Structures are given as C-alpha cells and as structure tokens.
Amino acid sequence: MSSKVFEVKDRVVCIIEARMDSVRLPGKVLEKIGDKNSLEHIVQRMRRVDQIDSICFATTINDKDNKIEELSKKLEVGCYRGSEKDVLKRVLESAIMFRAKVIVEITGDCPFVDSHLVEQFLQIFLQNDLDYLSNNILPSYPDGFDIQIFTTEALELSSLHALSNAEREHVTMHIKHNPQMFKILNLVAPKEYRYPNLSVTLDTFEDLEVLRNLEAQLSESELNSYEKITSFLVRNPIISSINRQVERKGYAT
C-alpha cells in the first residue's frame, strides 16, 4: 500500500478485478507471461502512474481465490473479497474499503495495459469534472488496452438503479446506458493505432500464446506501449492471427 500523503477528496485507487474461476481459461490471471503472471504485469504498470494512491485486487470469497489474496500480500497491494456474481457490488465495496474518490478499473485479463495511457486518461478525467471515462464504449483500441475511470459517487448512484443481472455483472453497463444521468466521455485511439479487431487480452489459450510471443519479442518499454504493441501485431500477421477467431464475450453498449 502506498504511504503517499493524500486528501480523501482526491484519492485515486486502481481496482483490479480478478478471479480464478474463468470458464474458458481457468486460473488465467496467474498464468505466466514471461517471468510474471497477468496480475503482476498489471500491478507493475499501475505503480508507474503517479496519480494512483493505492492498488487493490477485487476478488471473490471462493476458496479458489485464496491464491489471489496470497499474491496481494506478496505484492503488497490491497485485496477485497466479495460477491462472485454481483461484480458491481464487489467493486463498490472495494472502493469504499480503500476510501476511493476516483476508481481506475482494470480487469485482470489485461496484462499489457499501458500506464502512459492511464496517466493521460486520468489527467483528462480529473480536469473535466467527469463521472465516467473510458475507451471502450465505442471500441477503437485493440482489445486488452481497456481503461475505465469513474467516481465512487457515480458507482454508488448506479448501484441504486442497476437491477438486472447483466448490470450487476458488468460493473459500468448501467452508467454507459444512462448518459442522461452521468457525465460520460469515450476516448478514441489515434487513427494510425485504431485496430479494435486486434486482441492482447487474456481469455483463451490462443490469447496466452499471443501474449507470450509479445513478451518474448519486445522489450519491457515496448510492452508498456500500446503503440509499439499495435505496430508489432500489424507487422506480424502470423502472430496476430493466432487469436483472431476467438469470439469475445463482450456486451452491446
């Protein structure tokens, strides 16, 4: 946990959703990509973001997720354990526990999330009095560079109105679907990196193969750049085609 001095009104917490019981690739968040697993990659990147005061895992009370809590202790980050099905409630309770004013939400299947993008997005968010900011309402970045930033206050309001199972499972679905209630901004990738058909997320064995190829062939600084990764995949269609046919389980916004 960060010892950085902060005011509660400005407290920014990165909440990383993670669980072991994935249907398509069980235990995926602890699969090694080089010498680190997905969660270790994410924590390493988020620690580079100066505006983030603390980091925590939001996992479930299932016994399988004891491993995630153990990893949180090893990495010296926070951990909150809550509902498996009601992910909105789990994230909200995590935010309250860690006194978040602003939440940076990253899912545990995005090991190569770009810390520079997070910094840029946070600056935009904090300077424009927004309730919610993301780059996936209208996808334009490759899958796996998803970033969502929102206030705890907005999530609390959303939680009062989000009643369907889908809205409880997908943390920000209700916010995205109600722009009349929330001040929302979607950021679009620069034209030269606008490849939403590419994927560096971790859902399947095919995804894991792509990620391991990237880790083996790019430097650490290149792996922390969505531009470098996107350009590499465009130049290497044999690698980018490995997971091209994977059907993603996203929902319509």
Q: What is the pLDDT of residue 247?
A: 86
- Phi/psi-derived region of residue 184, left when phi > 0, alpha when psi is between -120 and 50, beta in every other case: beta
Paired tokens of 17: 């959703």
pLDDT band at 140 (very low <50, low <70, confident <90, very high): very high
Is residue 214, in this structure, part of any structural domain at all?
no
User: What are the φ/ψ torsions at residue 186 (nearest 5 degrees)?
Assistant: -110, 130
Average pLDDT of every residue of the chain: 93
Is residue 207, in this structure, part of any structural domain at all?
no
Is residue 67, in this structure, part of any structural domain at all?
yes
The number of distinct structural domains making up the chain is 1
H/E stretch holding 82:
strand 78-82
Instruction: Find the domain containing 73 and state its range.
Output: 8-194
Is residue 201, in this structure, part of any structural domain at all?
no
Residue 251: half-sphere exposure toward Cβ, Cα within 13 Å? 12
Higher-confidence residue of 68 and 249: namely 68
pLDDT tops 90 at residue 183: yes
pLDDT band at 250 (very low <50, low <70, confident <90, very high): low
∠ CA 43-48-53, nearest 5°, is 80
Of 8, 34, 44, 35, which Cα lies nearest the Cα of 16?
Answer: 44
Is residue 57, in this structure, part of any structural domain at all?
yes
Angle between helices 87-97 and 152-161 (to 10 degrees): 150
Residue-wise pLDDT tens digits, 73-121? 999 999 999 999 999 999 999 999 999 999 999 999 999 999 999 999 9
- Give the span between the Cα atoms of 10 and 7, in whole angstroms: 5
Is residue 221, in this structure, part of any structural domain at all?
no
Residue-wise pLDDT tens digits, 10-59? 599 999 999 999 889 999 999 999 999 999 999 999 999 999 999 999 99
Is residue 144, in this structure, part of any structural domain at all?
yes
Q: What is the pLDDT of residue 114?
A: 98
CATH number at residue 104: 3.90.550.10
Is residue 71, in this structure, part of any structural domain at all?
yes
Query: What is the edge-to-edge ordering of all strands in the sheet holding 102-107?
Result: 78-82, 54-60, 12-17, 102-107, 148-151, 132-134, 184-186
